[in-house]
Amino acid sequence: MLKYLMARNEDIPPGSAAVYWGYSSIVWFVIGTGLGAFNAAKLAFPDFVTGLEFLSFGHMRQVHVMAVIFGWISMAFGMTMMYMTPMLGNTRLWSEKLGVWNAFLWNVGLSLGLTVLWWGMNSGREYSDFPWFIDLYVLLFMTIPLGINVWMTIIHRRTQGIYITNWFFGAGTFMVSIVLLVGNLPEYFHLTGLTEAYLTWWNAHNILGLWITPVGAAIGYYTIPKITGNPLYSHRLGHLHFWSIVVFYSTPASHHLMSAPLPEWLKSFASVEGVLILVPAIAFVSNILMTMQGKWNMFVENLEVKFTVTGCLMAIPLNMQGGFQQTRAINWYIHGTGWIVAHAHLALLGFSTFVEVGAVYFGLQTIMRKKLWSLTLGNLHFWFLLVGFTTYWVSMTIAGLIQGAGKIYEVPYIDVVIAEHPYMIARWLGGSLVFMGNCVWLFNMWMTARAGTVIPAGRMAHELAYER
């Protein structure tokens, strides 16, 4: 792949950038979940690996979070954008060379950023942990070039309209750059106090609300109609989803700071806007489920559909939790507990990941013209991910409820720690299953590239029977 860095744009085969992004994302997924499982082991067994500063939980947590957000999730987004945007515009990617360079610089920047975090140099701001010079790199060499390629491909499309997926891709790449620019202002200008707190959570909230969840949904709008052969149930519902996200979900942030001395009107405003997330959520879920009409056999037969629809089902509790967790009463109970950690994983490791995995499976087979090497390993990957994630999520949710009750009942902290211990072990087991599943996935995709059956011209990957 590196040979294309110096090649002329015309000499780079279409889809090369997408393949580079796709395999990078899988490798980062293995690394990110491996780090997560390691961190979970430290919470379950406090004497596990002690005495090494760079392996302490305080150093490792940020590395795990950033590896997953910018490595797995964002690179899988980049992969889908590299192949879905041109396909939906009936054209080629605007610049295959920019795509390849973008993936290369993304990997270099992320490796650099994680190394810096590992050394203990960070901003001290959750979800924007990178120091300022890495933040600038992320903006200039990672998100803006991605946005340019996506936007220029949409502008040079050869179709009359813009399909809903490309609406989200165009807006998502634009919004994430704005979020990273504004959200990191406290680091560039040394803003402190409430301003820093507000901007920190504006950044954290919008990376999830304007990047990870909407782009994840956009991928579902492509994958399900493409594989089932059904047209999208309603383009209008898709537009309702898009505009309600942009209008309702770009403003909340103070709902992360309900106990902070921010103006009360601001917290109430954020709370109401937060509940309104149910509008785009219901629009998305109903649109996808209605698109499945007449093709529900594929829910149990087709690996990509299985991943995508399961992810879509996870969007229901995700948004129900997300919509109501920042109302004052519920927030009072669960704030600062493992319930929030479970919810964050429902967004990233549940909904978004399942939809993305389906799209990466489908995309890599389609671009490389190679049938998936092993359905058995694919199914194993699915079940490792689903059972591992469910174990993790259920145990963390219940542990969070116990922590919340402990807070209300003013139970001594150490007693809450003792009560939580079984759930920390379950969390580690669940996380380890996810990590093992991803190792299986990496092997399966490696074998697909090397030994997958060639897909004949004019056929699609899912139309061919599996061989093993």
Partner 1 sequence: MQKKSIVSRGYLLVLVGGMLTGMGNGSVFGIALMSFLGRGGFPDWGGWYGLAYDPHTFSGFIDWCMIVFGMAYVVILSTALVRHNALENAQG
- Cβ closest to partner 1, residue 197 vs residue 416: 416
Name the one range near partner 1 by CB under 8 A: 43-51, 147-155, 306-314, 370-378: 306-314
For 155, the token pair is 């502008």
- Is-contact 307 360, C-beta < 8 A? no
Name the one range near partner 1 by CB under 8 A: 20-28, 219-227, 256-264, 325-333: 325-333
Least distance between partner 1 and beta carbon 99 (Å): 35
Q: In 3-state terms, what secondary structure has residue 277?
A: coil
Applying CB under 8 A, which of residues 82, 116, 314, 347 lies at the interface with partner 1? 314
- Cβ closest to partner 1, residue 415 vs residue 467: 415
- Is-contact 290 234, C-beta < 8 A? yes
115 phi and psi angles, rounded to 5 deg: -65, -45
Q: Under the criterion CB under 8 A, does residue 5 sit at the interface with partner 1?
A: no
Angstrom distance (rounded) from CA 126 to CA 65: 9
Name the one range near partner 1 by CB under 8 A: 104-112, 229-237, 299-307, 369-377: 299-307
Owner of token pair 């492509």: 222
349 phi and psi angles, rounded to 5 deg: -90, -20
Name the one range near partner 1 by CB under 8 A: 108-116, 320-328, 365-373, 445-453: 320-328
Q: Under the criterion CB under 8 A, does residue 394 sit at the interface with partner 1?
A: yes
- Cβ closest to partner 1, residue 120 vs residue 294: 294
Q: Under the criterion CB under 8 A, does residue 325 sit at the interface with partner 1?
A: yes
For 275, the token pair is 């509940």
- Cβ closest to partner 1, residue 181 vs residue 394: 394
- Is-contact 415 406, C-beta < 8 A? yes
Q: 193: Cβ–Cβ under 8 A, 6 or more apart, which residues?
A: none
Applying CB under 8 A, which of residues 393, 428, 435, 441 lies at the interface with partner 1? 393
Sign of CA dihedral 419, 60, 102, 96: negative
- Cβ closest to partner 1, residue 31 vs residue 318: 318
Write out the binding residues for partner 1, residues 420-459 only, by CB under 8 A: 422
Angstrom distance (rounded) from CA 274 to CA 402: 25
Least distance between partner 1 and beta carbon 379 (Å): 11
Q: Packing angle between helix 164-183 and helix 213-228, nearest 10 degrees?
A: 160
Q: Under the criterion CB under 8 A, does residue 337 sit at the interface with partner 1?
A: no
Where do the H-state alpha helices sit in 346-461?
353-368, 375-408, 413-451
Q: Under the criterion CB under 8 A, does residue 414 sit at the interface with partner 1?
A: no
Angstrom distance (rounded) from CA 230 to CA 287: 12
Applying CB under 8 A, which of residues 7, 178, 278, 387 lies at the interface with partner 1? 387
- Cβ closest to partner 1, residue 10 vs residue 410: 410
Q: Under the criterion CB under 8 A, does residue 384 sit at the interface with partner 1?
A: no
- Cβ closest to partner 1, residue 60 vs residue 292: 292
Q: Under the criterion CB under 8 A, does residue 296 sit at the interface with partner 1?
A: yes
Owner of token pair 């949409």: 154
- Is-contact 453 464, C-beta < 8 A? yes
Q: How many CB atoms lie under 10 A from the CB of residue 320? A: 13
Q: Under the criterion CB under 8 A, does residue 386 sit at the interface with partner 1?
A: yes
Name the one range near partner 1 by CB under 8 A: 94-102, 171-179, 244-252, 403-411: 403-411
Name the one range near partner 1 by CB under 8 A: 73-81, 116-124, 318-326, 360-368: 318-326
Applying CB under 8 A, which of residues 404, 430, 431, 437 lies at the interface with partner 1? 404
Q: Is 369 exposed, middle or buried (0-12, 13-18, 19+ CB in 10 A)?
A: middle
Query: Any idea what DSSP says for residue 455?
Result: P
Least distance between partner 1 and beta carbon 65 (Å): 21
**Distances 439 to 310, 349, 434, 446 between C-alpha atoms, Å:** 21, 16, 9, 11
Applying CB under 8 A, which of residues 330, 375, 447, 464 lies at the interface with partner 1? 330
Applying CB under 8 A, which of residues 2, 6, 52, 329 lies at the interface with partner 1? 329
Query: Any idea what DSSP says for residue 119?
Result: T
For 270, the token pair is 């954020």
Q: How many CB atoms lie under 10 A from the CB of residue 240? A: 17
- Cβ closest to partner 1, residue 234 vs residue 327: 327
Angstrom distance (rounded) from CA 245 to CA 210: 8
Least distance between partner 1 and beta carbon 139 (Å): 34
Applying CB under 8 A, which of residues 390, 425, 442, 453 lies at the interface with partner 1? 390
Site residues, partner 1 (CB under 8 A) = 293-297, 299-301, 306, 310, 313-314, 316-318, 320-321, 324-325, 329-330, 332-334, 339, 346, 350, 386-387, 390, 393-394, 397-398, 401-402, 404-406, 408-409, 411, 415-416, 418-419, 422
